[in-house]
A and B are shown apart, each in its own frame.
Chain A
Amino acid sequence: MQQELLNISEVEQLISTGKTLLIAGDEKLLQQLPKGKWIGGTIPYFISPDQGGLVSQDKLFVTDISAITASTNIKVYDQNQLGTVYTDAGSDGFSFIIIPASSSTHISFAVNAPNYKDFGSQPLLGWISGVHLDDLGKISPKVVNGETGETFQDEAVVMHVDLVPGKTVDVGIINIFEQGDGDTLTFTNDGFSCSEVMVNGVKENFADYITNNNLDIQLPLVADYYGALINISFQSVDPGKDVQFYAPVFTGVRYKHAKPFANYADAFKKQLEESGAKEEDITFSCNCILNYLYSGLEGQRTDPFVGPITFGEIAYQLLNQTLVYLQIHDA
């Protein structure tokens, strides 16, 4: 077993037998689990192996990494400590991180991770925990250190994993969005919001630009990082005032509004084929709540990828509207 949607008694059994687990699910379920070698985050949306996209508050999504794990070190970081996450990592494995949405660690990681000391020294992947959309503003997203049973709403939990001998890992992304052919957009400040944008080098109010050009804000801004396409998703547009994002824009990076696509399934299949990802190699994956909502993934499958639907994805840094996966290879 690697990735499955299980009821609480099945998960309790796995924990009690000493399995090393990454768990996603409703806060009430996570808090009932016994202590053990696991970390978790809150979210009720999943792509399940059997039924595809679904909402469940009575089952937990479990990724069992026991077969590839030699040892683990679970650590909790606040926003001031998170800068050492790469330095703390070992040399023969990967680090798995879960951060509560809208927490200080979320904001800090989003802005600073690309400049952390020892960036990329070993693979770092994970996700941003969330809540049912009906509970937005009522319940805060959480993460859990399963080793101690402690729950956190403002800290990140990280499992640093040393692999068994003979295995290596790689982190991949599937991004269905491409840069469109429109204007080049740059920003004068780093951050999750802005009022002004440079459009082909000319300053404009960004909200007015979006309105006047009738931009579809379900499509993200896309930056090209040496061939890796990195999205910045729109959260809201306040005409004449600010534009809010789900990830920070950075100065010096050239963004373009994404090219529209006709059908998620077709675009996904094209990107999957280009990725060369093989089902038997995939140990973990997660996809974005915005892809789930905008592309109608409820009841839809994204084979070979299953896993939690998240409020942000992490592959070395924060990503938006992107599927992230962990591949295992023989060394």
Chain B
Amino acid sequence: MSIPPKTNPGWKEIVTGKKAFSLKFLAAKILLGRLVRTVKTDPSPDSVSAAIDELHALYTKNAATKSAQDDIKTIFG
């Protein structure tokens, strides 16, 4: 499964908490628990960009995992 590029607005919406999703991939939920808190504390473009990098890398490395694939469909349709 291909992972949408980091420029896709869906990544920004999720790390800023603008949109919330019911996700399945446990590592992403744990990571997002931290990233959303961090971005709320520091909403600067660099902070948002760093959070997107981390989340995108996690899904890219786990692209073969069923729960990660389900999440990508949930987030990006």
Residues on A lying within 8 angstroms of B by beta carbon are 91-92, 114-115, 118-123, 168-173, 223-228, 230, 252-253, 315-317, 329, 331
Contacts and interface: CB of A to CB of B under 8 A. Distances in A.
Nearest to B58: A120
A168 B63 CA distance: 10
B10 to A, nearest CB: 15
B30 A230 contact: yes
A268 B32 CA distance: 26
Given A123-B27, A230-B30, A331 B37 contact: no
A331 to B, nearest CB: 6
A121 B30 contact: no
Given A114-B34, A225-B33, A329 B26 contact: no
Contacts of A123: 27, 62, 65
Nearest to B17: A226
20 contacts: A92-B64, A114-B34, A119-B31, A120-B61, A121-B62, A168-B65, A168-B66, A170-B25, A172-B26, A225-B29, A225-B34, A226-B23, A226-B28, A227-B22, A227-B29, A228-B29, A228-B30, A230-B30, A253-B33, A329-B66
A331 B32 CA distance: 25
Interface residues of B, number: 23
Interface string B39-65: 001000000000000000110011011
Contact of B26 (A92, A121, A173, A253): A173
A173 B24 CA distance: 11
A114 B66 contact: no
A114 B33 CA distance: 10
A227 B57 CA distance: 20
B65 to A, nearest CB: 6
B62 A120 contact: yes
Given A91-B61, A228-B33, A252 B66 contact: no
A131 B38 CA distance: 38
Interface string B4-33: 000000000000000000110111111111
A169 B65 contact: yes
Contacts, number: 74
Contact of A227 (B23, B37, B41, B62): B23
A225 B33 CA distance: 4
Contacts of B66: 168, 170, 329
User: Which 7 pairs across A and B sit closest by C-beta, in order of nearness?
Assistant: A225-B33, A120-B27, A228-B29, A226-B32, A226-B29, A121-B61, A168-B64
B36 interface: yes
Contacts of B65: 123, 168-170
Nearest to A171: B26
Contacts of A168: 64-66
A92 B23 CA distance: 22
A120 B33 contact: no
Nearest to B61: A121
Given A170-B65, A170-B67, A316 B36 contact: no
B33 A226 contact: yes
Contact of B27 (A91, A115, A119, A230): A119
B30 A122 contact: no
A230 B30 CA distance: 9
